[in-house]
A and B are shown apart, each in its own frame.
Chain A
Amino acid sequence: MTPFVPLLPPRPLSASQQAAYALLAGFLLSAGAASAATAGIATTPAPLLSAPVFKGITGTVRDAKGEGIPGVSVVIKGTTTGTATDAKGVFRLNVPTGNETLVISSIGFKKQEIAVGGRATLDVVLVDDAAALDEVVVVGYGTQSRVSLTGAVATVDMKAIEELPVGSLSTAIGGQNPGVGVSGGTTRPGEKGQITIRNPVLLSKDGGTLRPLYVIDNVVRTEEDFNLLDQSEVEAISILKDAAAAIYGARSNQGVIVVATKRGKAGPPKFSYSGSVGMSDAVRLPSMMSGVEHATYLNDYNTFRGLAATERAYYTPDELDYFANNSTNWLETAWKPSVTTRNALNVSGGGERATYFASVTYNRQNGNFDNVNSDKWTFRASTDVTVAKGLKAGLSLSGDIFKRKTYWFKQGQESADNDARSLLLTPKFQAFYVNGVPNYTTPGASNTNTTEATHFFEVQRSGNYASQRNAGLNLTANVDYDMPFLKGLKARVLYSRTLDNNFGKNYGTSINVTEFAGLGTNGHIPGGAVRTQRVIKNGDQVFIVPTFTDTYQLNGYLNYDQQFGRHQISALAFFEQSETNYDEVRTSKSSIVPGGLDNMGFAIGEVTTAEIARESGILSYAGRINYNFANKYFAELALRYDGSTNFAPEYRWGLFPSLSAGWIISEENFFPKSGAVNFLKIRGSVGLLGGDATKAYNWQENYKFEIGKGAVFGGNTDRTLTIAPNNALANRKARWDNNEKYNVGIDSRFLNNRLSLSVDGFLDHRYNMLTQITSSAPVVIGAALPSENYSIVNSFGAEVSLGYGDKINNDFSYRVNTFFSWSDTKNIRVDVERGKIGQWDDPTGKSRDQGVVGYEYLGMFRTKEDVDNWMAANPTYTLFGDKPAPGMLYYQDIRGPKDASGNYTEPDGRITEDDQTFLTKKSGNLYGFGLNPSISYKGLTVQLTMGLSYGGQDVVESAARKLATPIINRPSFWADHWTPDNPNAKYPAPAANNSYDRTSAFWFRNSTTANMRNATISYSLPTAFVSRASLSSVKVFFVAVNPINFYNPYDYKVYGGSFDVYPTLRTLSLGLNVGF
């Protein structure tokens, strides 16, 4: 079955091979360098020709259960000569003397070194490395063993996420680590998750990001590129949370995510296929008022505001009767469960001279509405070749094809969420069709360009869409060369080119609807005589935005790694340069021919075109030294010097140093070796990191040409072209903003390594923060200010990870990882209006989250007596200008308006905007808790990711509080509103919205969230059974995303977010993973 892999010693290169490698090198390097490289290669192989005496050895590598492990790498230490085990865990290798040491390693197991000692057969047992601290961790520009880490570096457990059927990698890694926040990504197909690290702060409005920097295989890439990776292509992900990120210098201050993709492993070809198919459905659809409830609400509203009973605005009994039997939940009508499929296939293998890896994945999510969907292909092929002794080359080609489609709703405020929104807000007593004719759902309104007038079903039927198609391609090549004259010195050149084509296309038509006079006494029942025909213009155009991005990154490294007795030194020096070219065209053509196709050939109106081009560059020099004494003391010093085109030439360079150190106390002689503590390390780091939170060329005043902004001169001619100020104010002195990061941590293990505990405390001192000044600048300046190095904000927090795991026997093991995080901020110097300084709402010296701002809620006036009693005590009391009446909420009078000196006056007996205050200490949840248990019994594994957060204050969102109207429905809780007959209602009188649609404790809801993000149950078939089918492994699994929400304080929607958007989905998938 598995063929014996013959092993040959390295050979000298033939002339043609030399030429080929020279060509490769020439491709990578400049022309001048190519000839130098050729010269070098040609003279290298000579020392390999000494003739050794080979001895053959045979060995078997097994796991703890005694099963042979296939694909284990077996390499002669100090060389690149080696082999891999076959399907039964057996290897054969020729060694020159018989006294070599073999390095035996495989993913998921502890690496072992075994001296051959003249033996001809070897039996090796590899130990599972689930809790191994000598696990290798990718860090910036290299790898380190976990023991030697001196910074706060979190790693993602790739095993835990390998089967998650989510469309973006960000979503997949959520809930695993403290200080790594992931939101979103489980709603609309193609929606990406969003990662934040610790407590990022951004005060600029014209650039910058709250997201970390993404580095994939040592190349700085975009967030989009990261999200488009499939987890099956990824070997490891590390999250650099503290000064460990400083090696990325000027763009590192929001943290860095470092990804290593899978590479080939020596051995026979190993195929792996994983596929799953699942159903996605809303965790819960929002509850809205029924037709009768809504109409009754409107009647009560009209009564309250004194509308005469004869007015047609009232819903008459015959109409209410009709609505009782004709109330349609429009969202439910259009909504249906969707299908999510995921397929991943990869192959890996190779000999000792060359390895390869290739993968293809396909992920498809259908929407819960027809015509909404997303699919994603990714592919990757890489090879690593030992060209000659000491010379290795790696090539990788990867890419993605991404498609996403939503509806295009151009009416009113353009938003993809108008699908769910328009369906939810359309009254349930309204009809989208009357006798099959599209009905105008906002009768009487002459403005058809509103969200309310959106006719979802006709938009759906007309095939209107907004789509995004993306093809990305990355080519990365690197050459590594072991410098022959100094042991441990290596040189490396890396070149990476990324091309990204994005094709955005929107198609919207005109939709013909009929407005009917209505039936029923007051004409509220849909139907009746035709009143008029209306045209809803949903864009009525084809709009195309193709973009092209071309980026390259070039690095040259020198790396030195050597051990001198108990001293180990590794040093790295490199330069990095990258340039990006971006070009975008925005074009549209209007007036779609009815019945035509969705391209410009079927549009007959105006064509508009614009082009936007950008170029930018970054140049960096950096170095790092790591020192390790006796695996006890560790120190790391890094320095990076960065220049960017975002800043003026004389301010563009910045120097970013960092220093960190660690001490493994448990390695000291005085440390009791037999105590409960197995491992104890303390570490600390400090570094200066940078950010470039501004847009390019903000340092230059400039103008831009604009169409459609000019005046008309002469009779009925077109507008003229104009030149308008683009950057009316420039800040030539803008430079990198600074972030001093401090982190101290303890890593420890107890009870025979079963219990692990890590504690980190951090302080991010951000200063010279690029800030767009809006408040502390007088209005007479008259233009948006450019970002300026101004603000000072500290963030700080603590993270605790606690894990406990045990292996009871060969069949049964379990592990529980928990973590806790807390963080907060303090404004030291921020942009604040002069008139606010010293007042209650002055943010200086306080947290960025000072709590919920609103009015002190006192109660609801239930009866006339309530009002009279209140007015007797507070004769001048008004609520935002209104006289109190039963059914209104009322609030505490805190202040009067400001006097001439700018200070608030005493309470004036009137509720106005001056009476706002902080109602709670915090608004956002500042405490987070994670609980991730996993249990394995024989082949069965159960793995859960659960989270809890608390400490903030939730408030019913404004969209739910707003007044319902004859054309807008609101959540179901409004059915229980105040009327004279229902004085003890839970909610106020609808017409009193001027007083209730304000933030107050009345609308408070508990902010605690507790949910299970995902759950995986998998079963691996016994090896014996599997191998009979000529397979190496078979696993079936069941995955659930968002399976359980433990607590929901809302009675009308799922927890979190506004009710009127695409609902959060629960996905249940069944899958199969097969290894060949």
Chain B
Amino acid sequence: MKITRIATLFAFSASVLTMAGCKDTLDKIDLTAANEDLVFQNETVAFLNLSYIYEQNLPSWFGQSNIGIGATNPSILSEEAAGQSAYLAGTLTQNDVVDIGTAIGPNTNYGKIRTINMFIRGVSRSPIPTQPRNQLKGEALFFRAYRYFDLVRVYGGVPLVLTPLDAVGEDVRAEAYLPRNSTTECFNQISADLDSAIAYLPGRWTGSGTWGRITSGAAAAFKARVLLYAASPQFNPSDNTAKWQKAFDASQQARTILTTNNFRLNPSFDQLWFEEENNVEAVMVTNYNTTANGTQNAKNNQYDNGTRPSYTGTGGGANRPTWDLAKAFPMLDGKKPGESTKYPYTVQKFYKNRDPRFGKTIAYNGATWPLNGNTNYKIWTYLRGTTSVEPSNPTLSGFYLRKAISPTAPVNSVNVVGTNWIEIRYAEVLLNLAEAACGVNNLTEAYTQLKAIRARAGIEAGTDGNYGLQAGMNRAQMFEAILYERQIELAFEGKRFWDLRRWRKMESVLNLGIKRREGLVITLKATGVPTDFATNRDNLDIDFVYDNYFTLTTTTGAPTVRILDTNTATTFPRGLDWQSKYYFFPLPQQAIDNNPQLIQNNTWGGAFDPLQ
């Protein structure tokens, strides 16, 4: 064999083998993702992760969470608005309330909690200095508390997960089959997280782009709300005063922090919705913007366009107040309709001399309602014959909701209004304080707060300076008065259903009192009405018009109403029929199949006592 051939072979083999040694073939990195070190390198970058947590957890309009019961408009679970749901039809099944999650994933409540826990872990082991680190942590802890409260008020105790659980490997997963913590443990954990948040967070954020971040006052106000629930009959049927005391302490703390930081009642009950930054009444707020609809940075408020009359926007006609709600408002002197002697109430002129909040909450036939920049706009919803005079999609209840509806937005930009949702108003803080004070029998404090609310509303103080409140109420009467005040002040703010539920008053108020929700039918008289009424009506005196041209009552003098909860096989077969076992909702079977450690509530055939 010749040397040259060996050389050839050698050279060839060598070249082949050198190429085979390309180890960097496998030295690759993930080009699309960032690792933890990068995310938590400083507070500015870390805040981008926190912003994601804000977006995942901040409630949308009506305080909705879009999961489980949070996906149902809470107004239709009360007398405020009609709508079909299994909750009030009494047909709720075990599998209907899925807040706890029936499948694993990042957008469930526990998915959101995991993201929060990952953030807390990430900032805790980051090089971010203590001061900004604690602030970031405080905001995350607030939202963890927020999420757990959402679950606990639905079911009672749930498994508490406070670190990101590991889940790779069967043994590791076996440890993640956590049982439910007791309701008390959950409330304690929520309180503890909020205490940390109160300690870590500033009373006010300074600088631009900070409005909407959670403050110590928001955390304290939320804690007061949580402890008020814990003290309410739903969780405290034995009326344990110690729980009321805790709620009272938390409410006082909240008020102190907030007033120190210049939060207070906004002078205007209706205009408070249209103040954006530094709104003194907005304790916890979800910001919306006016960025063009459909663009990626748009977060437009869909409530406004969805609620107003369809012909004054591009959608419209939802959230129509019922006659039941309209009837409930007090008169201008703060007394209930029929109880006021100064302002006698008649169905024919139901709108007259009411609590100013009536006209600012409900748009009724003939009301002046500044819309689309027209300050003199009048809304007409009456029927001519059997047909509504509205141009399209007429209201069936006879009313529209006007709370937080922008008076200035032009028709074509109603779908991009940026009105912010205020989850915690300062007014609620005061009402919570009043209720907790009442719980510890401090009725003086309760009176003080109710009067403050009523004074801002524009109710007449009256000669006794009580703003229509009955003097010398006892504890039980005061609780009723506070609940009534909440119904009026916080109407259509997503609070009523939860109030009735925590007071275990769903059956007494809805089932017995209402049975079916009603709308008011106002019909134009067939005779005696000028032919130019339709064109001239805006210029006429409204009282005159009601007295002479409209029919509102039947021959017996009862209001003419339209049943809004129609009676078909699937909708309200028995009228409103809330069941007492709904005060704690059942865990869905899929959740129990997923984790048999979860024990069903005792009102649903299981052994878990949500009152423990």
**Interface, chain A (partner B; CB < 8 A):** 29-30, 32-37, 39-40, 43-44, 305-306, 446, 481, 483-485, 491, 493, 531-532, 537, 554, 556, 558, 575, 577-579, 590, 605-606, 608, 612-619, 621, 643-645, 649, 652, 696-697, 700-733, 773-786, 788, 790, 833-836, 881-883, 897-900, 902, 912-913, 994
B contact residues around A776 at 8 Å (CB): 170, 173
CB proximity of B128 to chain A, nearest CB, Å: 14
Contact in complex: B287, A713 (CB < 8 Å): yes
Q: A710-B51, A718-B297 are in contact. Are A697 and B30 (CB under 8 A)?
A: yes
Q: Across the two chains, which residue of chain A brings its CB closest to B306?
A: A446
B contact residues around A725 at 8 Å (CB): 106, 114-115, 118
CB proximity of B602 to chain A, nearest CB, Å: 10
Contact in complex: A723, B34 (CB < 8 Å): yes
B291 contact from A484, A718, A898, Cβ within 8 A: A718
Contact in complex: A785, B106 (CB < 8 Å): no
- In the complex, number of A-B residue pairs with CB atoms less than 8 Å apart: 357
Contact in complex: A727, B33 (CB < 8 Å): yes
CB proximity of A768 to chain B, nearest CB, Å: 13
Q: Across the two chains, which residue of chain B brings its CB closest to A841?
A: B593
**Interface, chain B (partner A; CB < 8 A):** 1-2, 4-20, 22-23, 25-36, 38-39, 45, 48-49, 51-52, 54-55, 58, 91, 93-95, 100-106, 108, 110-115, 118, 159, 161, 164-170, 173, 176-178, 208-213, 276-277, 286-292, 294-299, 310, 314-316, 392-393, 418, 568-570, 589, 591-597, 599-600, 605-607
Contact in complex: B26, A723 (CB < 8 Å): no
Q: Across the two chains, which residue of chain A brings its CB closest to B15?
A: A33
CB proximity of A376 to chain B, nearest CB, Å: 31
Contact in complex: A902, B596 (CB < 8 Å): yes
Contact in complex: B159, A780 (CB < 8 Å): yes
Contact in complex: A726, B15 (CB < 8 Å): no
Q: A446-B310, A782-B114, A783-B111 are in contact. Are A643 and B26 (CB under 8 A)?
A: yes
CB proximity of A577 to chain B, nearest CB, Å: 5
Contact in complex: A40, B287 (CB < 8 Å): no
Q: Across the two chains, which residue of chain B brings its CB closest to A306?
A: B568
Contact in complex: A29, B296 (CB < 8 Å): no
Q: A606-B296, A712-B287 are in contact. Are A720 and B30 (CB under 8 A)?
A: no
Q: Give complex CA distance A616, B32 in Å.
A: 13
Contact in complex: A782, B108 (CB < 8 Å): yes
Q: Give complex CA distance A66, B7 in Å.
A: 52
Contact in complex: B19, A556 (CB < 8 Å): yes
B30 contact from A35, A696, A707, A714, Cβ within 8 A: A696
Q: Give complex CA distance A782, B392 in Å.
A: 45
Q: A579-B25, A785-B104, A883-B569 are in contact. Are A833 and B7 (CB under 8 A)?
A: no
Q: Give complex CA distance A305, B596 in Å.
A: 41
CB proximity of A551 to chain B, nearest CB, Å: 12
Q: A33-B14, A484-B5, A704-B33 are in contact. Are A779 and B591 (CB under 8 A)?
A: yes
A29 contact from B15, B54, B277, Cβ within 8 A: B15
Q: Give complex CA distance A244, B217 in Å.
A: 70
B16 contact from A491, A719, A722, A836, Cβ within 8 A: A491
Q: A704-B32, A712-B212 are in contact. Are A788 and B592 (CB under 8 A)?
A: no
Contact in complex: B173, A777 (CB < 8 Å): yes
Q: A643-B26, A714-B209, A717-B209 are in contact. Are A779 and B102 (CB under 8 A)?
A: yes
Contact in complex: A613, B32 (CB < 8 Å): yes
CB proximity of B463 to chain A, nearest CB, Å: 44
Of the candidates A712, A777, A912, the one having the most CB atoms from chain B within 10 angstroms of its own CB is A712
| 24 A–B contacts, CB within 8 A, in A order | A485-B1, A531-B392, A590-B294, A590-B295, A605-B292, A605-B295, A615-B28, A619-B26, A705-B34, A708-B296, A712-B288, A714-B209, A719-B296, A720-B51, A728-B115, A728-B164, A778-B176, A780-B110, A780-B176, A785-B167, A785-B168, A881-B570, A898-B589, A900-B599
Contact in complex: A723, B570 (CB < 8 Å): no
Q: Across the two chains, which residue of chain B brings its CB closest to A722?
A: B52
CB proximity of B172 to chain A, nearest CB, Å: 10
A contact residues around B94 at 8 Å (CB): 897
CB proximity of A67 to chain B, nearest CB, Å: 45
Q: Give complex CA distance A129, B317 in Å.
A: 79
Contact in complex: A781, B176 (CB < 8 Å): yes
For the complex with contacts A485-B1, A783-B167, 11 further pairs of A-B residues with Cβ separation under 8 Å are: A37-B12, A305-B569, A643-B26, A700-B35, A718-B297, A719-B289, A727-B33, A728-B115, A730-B168, A773-B167, A778-B597
B contact residues around A722 at 8 Å (CB): 48-49, 51-52, 55
Contact in complex: B165, A703 (CB < 8 Å): no
B contact residues around A617 at 8 Å (CB): 25-28
Contact in complex: B106, A723 (CB < 8 Å): no
Contact in complex: A485, B5 (CB < 8 Å): yes
Contact in complex: B51, A711 (CB < 8 Å): yes
Contact in complex: A719, B173 (CB < 8 Å): no
Q: Give complex CA distance A532, B311 in Å.
A: 11
Contact in complex: A783, B289 (CB < 8 Å): no
Q: Across the two chains, which residue of chain B brings its CB closest to A732?
A: B168
Contact in complex: B108, A613 (CB < 8 Å): no
A contact residues around B25 at 8 Å (CB): 577-579, 617-619
Q: Across the two chains, which residue of chain B brings its CB closest to A42?
A: B4
Of the candidates B100, B297, B599, the one having the most CB atoms from chain A within 10 angstroms of its own CB is B297
Q: Give complex CA distance A485, B29 in Å.
A: 44
Q: Across the two chains, which residue of chain A brings its CB closest to B165?
A: A781
A715 contact from B48, B106, B418, B592, Cβ within 8 A: B418
Contact in complex: B178, A778 (CB < 8 Å): yes
A contact residues around B31 at 8 Å (CB): 613-615
Q: Give complex CA distance A932, B159 in Å.
A: 62
B167 contact from A618, A777, A882, Cβ within 8 A: A777
Contact in complex: B600, A900 (CB < 8 Å): yes
B contact residues around A912 at 8 Å (CB): 93
A contact residues around B95 at 8 Å (CB): 913
B contact residues around A32 at 8 Å (CB): 15, 18
CB proximity of A833 to chain B, nearest CB, Å: 5
Q: Give complex CA distance A652, B28 in Å.
A: 13
Contact in complex: B58, A711 (CB < 8 Å): yes
Q: Give complex CA distance A777, B593 in Å.
A: 11
Q: A612-B32, A703-B33, A714-B212 are in contact. Are A784 and B106 (CB under 8 A)?
A: yes
Of the candidates B6, B12, B111, B288, the one having the most CB atoms from chain A within 10 angstroms of its own CB is B12
Q: A702-B35, A900-B606 are in contact. Are A731 and B108 (CB under 8 A)?
A: no
Q: A39-B11, A43-B7, A783-B111 are in contact. Are A716 and B290 (CB under 8 A)?
A: yes
CB proximity of B187 to chain A, nearest CB, Å: 19
The 3 A-B residue pairs with the shortest CB-CB distance, nearest first, are: A33-B15, A36-B11, A835-B593
Contact in complex: B595, A779 (CB < 8 Å): yes
Q: A645-B26, A711-B58 are in contact. Are A723 and B100 (CB under 8 A)?
A: no
CB proximity of A449 to chain B, nearest CB, Å: 10
Contact in complex: A37, B11 (CB < 8 Å): yes
CB proximity of A983 to chain B, nearest CB, Å: 20
B contact residues around A704 at 8 Å (CB): 32-34
Contact in complex: A723, B591 (CB < 8 Å): no
B211 contact from A608, A715, A775, Cβ within 8 A: A715
A contact residues around B208 at 8 Å (CB): 714
Q: Give complex CA distance A834, B570 in Å.
A: 34
A contact residues around B310 at 8 Å (CB): 446
B contact residues around A531 at 8 Å (CB): 392
Q: Give complex CA distance A900, B211 in Å.
A: 48
Contact in complex: A703, B49 (CB < 8 Å): yes
B contact residues around A773 at 8 Å (CB): 167, 173
Contact in complex: A703, B51 (CB < 8 Å): no
Contact in complex: B592, A702 (CB < 8 Å): no
Contact in complex: B35, A556 (CB < 8 Å): no
Q: Across the two chains, which residue of chain B brings its CB closest to A493?
A: B16
Q: A481-B12, A784-B105 are in contact. Are A778 and B30 (CB under 8 A)?
A: no
A contact residues around B168 at 8 Å (CB): 729-733, 785-786, 788
B contact residues around A305 at 8 Å (CB): 568-569
Contact in complex: B418, A834 (CB < 8 Å): no
B contact residues around A39 at 8 Å (CB): 7-8, 11
